[in-house]
Amino acid sequence: MLAVKDSVAVITGGSGGIGMALAEYWIKNQGKVVLADVIPEALEKAKEKLGGDVVTVVCDVTDEADCGRLADTAIDAFGQINLVAPFAGIIMDGLMISPDRETGKITKKMPLEKFQKVVDINLTGVFLTVRECTERMVNNDCRGLVCLISSTGSLGTAGQINYSSTKAAMSVMPKVITAEFFRRGLADKIRCAAVAPGYVGTPMVKNMNQKALEKILNEVPIGRLIEPEEVADLVGAIYQNEALAAETYFIHGGLRLGSRG
């Protein structure tokens, strides 16, 4: 079992939502945090809120140099990296093609830019963050976990061909990374896993159209949103239990269980 106390977590997308909840969990359990985001003001507020051993880094996860600097900052500040949580991500929903209701002809399609931006942040950004951080973990003889964030959207959600594709990638990456580490004799020190939340009660979700939110909740067997703190707690449990590796762990309140028959 690994202890959170004195361990170092690198968290991207850390100024809000699940990333912030994980940072709070880490500090509460006497860990240390390197918090990354693209908005300096948001990072400053997050650091004030967290207290404890927190270093913030303005980082564009799509930028190779920024990701390298993020990893170096963690080593320079704390001498190690134990948890890599590349949680930076965006949603830009839309149908791939949309036919006109009267003519049946296509009148609108998802722009390449809308597809590419989601892929750049949610997939390429994760790859760069993980690559740079694990390089420093190996070179500095660190022990720990790479925890990716997938989604129930990885199972296929209409209107999310960009987002769902990236989250499906997150669900297979733990197997690929674990296999590569195993091949190189690293898998006993650095594990990789993913968590896949359902509808999470972030401020954005809670403040959405209330009728739409009610419709969503009608499909969740436990009858409520998943709290960010519950996702953070799952990440903490995976980190501490070294038998958990190479898998994606769903946390969705029974959303995909078809409990209504």
Determine how β-strand 97-99 pairs with β-strand 106-109.
antiparallel
Is 257 among the domain residues?
no
Distance CA 151, CA 170 (A): 9
Residue 114 belongs to domain spanning: 8-199+229-251
pLDDT at 256 (0 to 100): 66
Place of tokens 């939340």: 197
| Side-chain-facing half-sphere of 210: CA atoms under 13 Å | 0
- Reported as a pLDDT band with limits 50, 70 and 90, residue 68 is very high
- Beta strands at 32-37 and 97-99: parallel, antiparallel or unpaired: unpaired
Per-residue pLDDT at 103: 96
Tell whether the model's pLDDT for residue 257 goes beyond 70: no
Q: For residues 113 and 61, is the Cβ–Cβ distance under 8 A?
A: no
Residue found by looking up tokens 């946390």 in the block: 251
> How far are the Cα atoms of 8, 15, 112, 199, 229 from residue 48, in angstroms, in the given order?
18, 11, 39, 28, 19
The catalytic position among 25, 163, 199, 239 is 163
The pLDDT value given to residue 260: 55
Residue 212: its pLDDT value, please?
Answer: 84
The 10s digit of each residue's pLDDT in 218-244 is 989 999 999 999 999 999 999 999 999
CATH (domain of 182) = 3.40.50.720
Q: To the nearest whole number, what is the mean pLDDT of the chain?
A: 95
What pLDDT is stored for residue 74 in this prediction? 98
- The Cα diameter of the chain in Å comes to 63
| Cα-to-chain-centroid distance, residue 208 | 21
In-domain check, residue 205: no
Catalytic: 163?
yes
Stretch 97-108: mean pLDDT, rounded? Answer: 96
Residue 54 lies inside a defined structural domain of this protein: yes
Smallest CA-to-CA distance from 123 within 82, 183, 164, 71 is with 164
Mean pLDDT for 52-72 is 97
Confirm whether 179 is domain-assigned: yes
Q: Is the pLDDT of residue 203 over 90?
A: no
Query: Is 90 exceeded by the pLDDT of residue 37?
Result: yes
* Measured distance CA(216)–CA(133) in Å, rounded: 37
With 80 as the cut, is the pLDDT of residue 123 above it?
A: yes
Please report the pLDDT score of residue 216 as a whole number: 85
Element (H, E) at 151: none
Looking at residues 163-186, what average pLDDT do you find? 98
Is 38 part of any domain?
yes
Give a yes or no: residue 186 inside a domain: yes
241 lies in some domain: yes
Is pLDDT above 80 for 184?
Answer: yes
Give the span between the Cα atoms of 218 and 170, in whole angstroms: 27
Confidence tier at 211 by pLDDT (50, 70, 90):
confident
Q: Is the residue at 1 inside a domain?
A: no
How many domains, in total, are found in the chain? Answer: 1
